[in-house]
Structure 1
């Protein structure tokens, strides 16, 4: 992608046990797909779901979007088989629930490599427990193969004995710590899901909150949420125009040897120029996605 940026505005969970859903996913405009072997799959369908997910990855039928497989958690009866099969299939990423420590990250990476995972297959670690939140920077920095943190907000609410409320006040500390840890380690970070698929107004408000906190995008549980996430997490036309004008003003002032640069009444420094260039790079990457 342009500027090395990979859009992950919308990352949609799809139950790998549902072959029709996997077929439909080929046409959805989500930036990334997570073919789920965990929560969305009943115990007696786990084996078939694993086969479906790996076949879908190997099919190459999902275009240039990222396709990940979420395996069952460490300690479950299905984890080892899931991880070995996913490694052999070679998706863009393997998503692992309830990753709680840097040592666990390194063990997962070793297992992926032992299973023959190609270089492109990255680890996405789910942050779903208080311990993971408190150790999030170490988790994020544990291996070069780890490319993203994924918030499991439903599990966090349960573990905290908290409540799902508009504005997510009980989760704000955890959300911010996750973003801080991801940015310190230089990895992506994805916000958790919104449970009420019919409440698009509430969903959009939560997308805007996640964007403002610094998340790269949002994990989704329904195709109807894709359009909103794509729109909210992409730079709009006004932001792109402002970024272009800011860069032009800075470059003109620098060429003239002026030490003070202003744009629309605001003082402009190098950090603002870097942010503007990232906005343009993301807009170009989104446009290239089509």
Structure 2
């Protein structure tokens, strides 16, 4: 089963901006992604790397997962980024533009300790390798997929609208690949910082697809993501009813129950247990 750690909101913070990193320690996001890649100009790459490493070592992020997004291994900064980030021991390293299982293996080889590997699905090639990429979760540190909608739309030459109609297939298939191999998966960013209504619609769409949460580019987007990807009170209540029913001694050997007029199978029990765990983790934060 996927771990119940909430990942409703994952905020990219440019690691070249020391004030932004400091601010991240007090935000209500579930994940802080210290970015060395897209958000950092070439002449600021080294200072960004240094500040990200120092921030991870200093700690102070509380319950938040701390992830470093490195530059690709095919860039002038990638190898040094991976070595420095791995030595700092964040919760995870986020690898960009992963297009094959071989790419996953290359980043995985550079990690040690408890640090996990997250990879970006943001190339056309990655869409045709989703199965082999996600399957690496069973043989490597791979823990999560992260959709890069901007890069994907650029490669596809499609229009990146709020409803993301051209990307419905890739988004759905990516979620299915993640679930098939027990991985977490985060939705891509919404570019309209001032478009609150569009952000809410995209967060709701992502939750409907089955994403665990959404990557964000501004602190003002956190509240909408946390709301959309938090279990609804009614869902949690029903989940507790399901768990209690199956926990009853007379139902110990049963695979299917009738609960309040609904047919409930043990597969629903597993999802109910996961949902309760997520809700409890959110409540305890």
TM-score by length of 2: 0.93
What is the Cα deviation at residue 21 of structure 1? 0.4
Residue of 167, 172, 175 corresponding to 1:171: 167
Residue of 141, 144, 147 corresponding to 2:143: 147
Residue of 255, 261, 267 corresponding to 2:263: 267
2:255/2:265 contact within 8 Å kept = no
2:245/2:251 contact within 8 Å kept = no
Q: Structure 2 vs 1, CA of residues 144 and 257 (structure 1 numbering), >3 Å: closer, same or farther?
A: closer
In the aligned structure 1, how far is the partner of 2:32 from the partner of 2:94?
A: 11
Instruction: For structure 1, list consecutive stretches of 5 or more residues without a partner in the other structure.
Output: none
In the aligned structure 1, how far is the partner of 2:96 from the partner of 2:175?
A: 18
Residue of 126, 129, 135 corresponding to 2:123: 129
Q: Structure 2 vs 1, CA of residues 268 and 91 (structure 1 numbering), >3 Å: closer, same or farther?
A: same
Q: Does 1:18 align with 2:17?
A: yes
Paired residues, number:
282
In the aligned structure 2, how far is the partner of 1:259 from the partner of 1:95?
A: 40
Q: Structure 2 vs 1, CA of residues 256 and 37 (structure 1 numbering), >3 Å: closer, same or farther?
A: closer
What is the Cα deviation at residue 56 of structure 1? 0.2
User: Aligned Cα RMSD in Å?
Assistant: 1.8
In the aligned structure 2, how far is the partner of 1:256 from the partner of 1:161?
A: 54
Secondary structure of 1:141's partner?
A: helix
Q: Structure 2 vs 1, CA of residues 254 and 197 (structure 1 numbering), >3 Å: closer, same or farther?
A: farther
2:186/2:215 contact within 8 Å kept = yes
1:253/1:261 contact within 8 Å kept = no
Residue of 177, 181, 185 corresponding to 1:181: 177
What is the Cα deviation at residue 257 of structure 1? 8.5
Instruction: For structure 2, list consecutive stretches of 5 or more residues without a partner in the other structure.
Output: none
